[in-house]
Amino acid sequence: MLLWAGLSVAWCNPWSEPATASMNWTALPAGALSAEQALRTYQERALRQLTTLAGYSDKTTIEAEIPAMAVKGQFSSKRTFSAPQSLDYTATSFVGDNFVKTNVIYRLLRSDVERVEKNTASKVALLERNYKFSYMGIQHLNGRDLYAFALKPRHKGTGFFKGNIFIDTQSGHIVQAMGRLSKSPSWWIKRVEFIQDYRDFGEFTMPVQFRSVTEARIVGRVVVNIAHAEYEVRSVEQLRSGQEAADDRHRGPLPGVAVIP
């Protein structure tokens, strides 16, 4: 899973090798998982998330800019996902140019909702059945030691990318993905390069930041920054337990059984 639980775009330096902040090669730290163990841990967690994530909500903020037109906008919303095929954005505010809102931000939102409705998460997830993984070495990013893997999609189609992922050497959890989309999602878009950051929320790993540069026809470069905050994530087990508790309250005490305060 690239954990495509959100918009499938992010940021990088225009049309060059994607660059992460302050990343340097380093030696294997003491007590770390091996690269093979870390990759296996990541894959197992990704597979579990595909089947145990019942839903989530968050505050999503999208900033978009078209430099050639000197226009930009910022859209804030509440995003709500219910597995497996329901995604909703409830707008809370927008400031900026209406052209950006209609032709950039709303296009992204429609694309994201349509992707979820088609239920393609498993088909494009960052798993070995969908990608070839090549170990690249150990890197250091923002105080963390990470295993770097190069990814090449095994299939052709929208939603895949060619690039790298970075997995924490201690936990085996994904921290970052970066690269270029293998296929343009529409005629309007010529190329998308991105960096996507992740954070753990209990038993789940969710995207928290997308940064992208898209080369679009007619308008040129489109720069997008998407941030997710205030996550509330629910598992299938939590949903089931909550429903059972609600059912028990609805049924009330059994006949003939005294309820002692």
Per the document, the length of the chain is 261
Q: Which residue has the higher pLDDT, 31 or 12?
A: 31
pLDDT tens column, 2-26: 333 333 333 333 333 343 444 455 5
Cα 261 to Cα 259: distance, rounded to the nearest angstrom: 6
- Inter-axis angle of helices 236-251 and 35-52, nearest 10: 30
Domain boundaries, the chain: 31-228
pLDDT confidence of residue 230: 98
pLDDT tens column, 165-200: 999 999 999 999 999 999 887 778 889 999 999 999
Cα 236 to Cα 240: distance, rounded to the nearest angstrom: 6
CATH code of 31-228, in short, is: 2.50.20
Q: What integer is the mean pLDDT of 82-98?
A: 97
Beta strand spans in the chain (E) = 24-25, 53-66, 71-82, 86-96, 131-141, 144-153, 161-168, 174-181, 189-201, 204-216, 220-235
pLDDT tens column, 155-165: 988 899 999 99
Q: Which of 178, 146, 174, 144 is nearest to 164 (CA)?
A: 178
